[in-house]
Amino acid sequence: MSSTRMVKANGIELFVREQGEGPLVLLCHGWPELSYSWRHQIPAIAAAGYRVVAPDMRGFGRTQASSDVTAYSIFDHVGDMVALVTALDADKAVIIGHDWGAPVAWHAALFRPDMFTAVAGLSVPPPFRGRGKPLDTLKAGGIANFYWQYFQTPGIAETELERDVALTMRTMLARGFSDPQSLFVAPDKGFLGEADPNLPLPVWLSECDLAEFVAAYRASGFRGGLNWYRNIDRNWELTAPWQDAPIRQPSLFIAGSDDAVIKGIIGAKRVQDMERVLPNLRRKLIIDGAGHWIQQECADEVNAALIGFLQEVAPAC
């Protein structure tokens, strides 16, 4: 079974779940999730001969959350993972991320190829640093209601999401992001839209699982995770030195075919062209009929793909 503890790293305390012995594997979750989102991967990867560590990321769950919006840049998140590897008395790791955790994993591999020897991203393709700030680009394209924009002003999204945390988490996890329109905020309806308190849970999410997320977000609130979005343009500025830089380590990409993040003109193109950023891409797995919460929805397929990749790039003894 996995154990939990607090680890001091990069000036904060990270709550981590860990299990197993062998080559180190870090699992980085996204929004609005927790290390608990990897509950199916931790024991499976550990049983395959690896030391698996899944933190609650900065600002989430039981990990510390700074009140300073500027403390949530991509440098802070990658810095947390670099410091975590060191705190675990290791010097190398394979890093795997889902949703917001995927950009952390991709950038960790980009910034520190000496430490992160292989990388896998779930649901979010590798970084394509455009020629302009993302929020400015949206505005220039006549878009004013994308969820990134709605999340920018502190307090607005927090008020909506924290009004009824149980309803919020049921809506976001059960509804997912299969419909691209779910990424746009309708006037006067907020991010959740017409939330249904009786929305049935999908087969991959039990009421006990949902309760784990609800309890955590009732305790932490949503501001820490939302602050990640408030650094989107700042991240674009900070990553200027890596314009068009490839990630040369062995890599893997997994997503669901019904995930709105990889659908549409932008998402589909990024998936199609990712070999430009990932010249050593070993596999691009698109799971038919699956949505955004891929490692929870399709645990067996994701586990098989991840373990196969790990055995290829970091063989366990």
Catalytic residues: 99, 292
What distance, in Å, lies between the first and last C-alpha atoms of the chain? 20
Structure tokens at 154: 């502190």
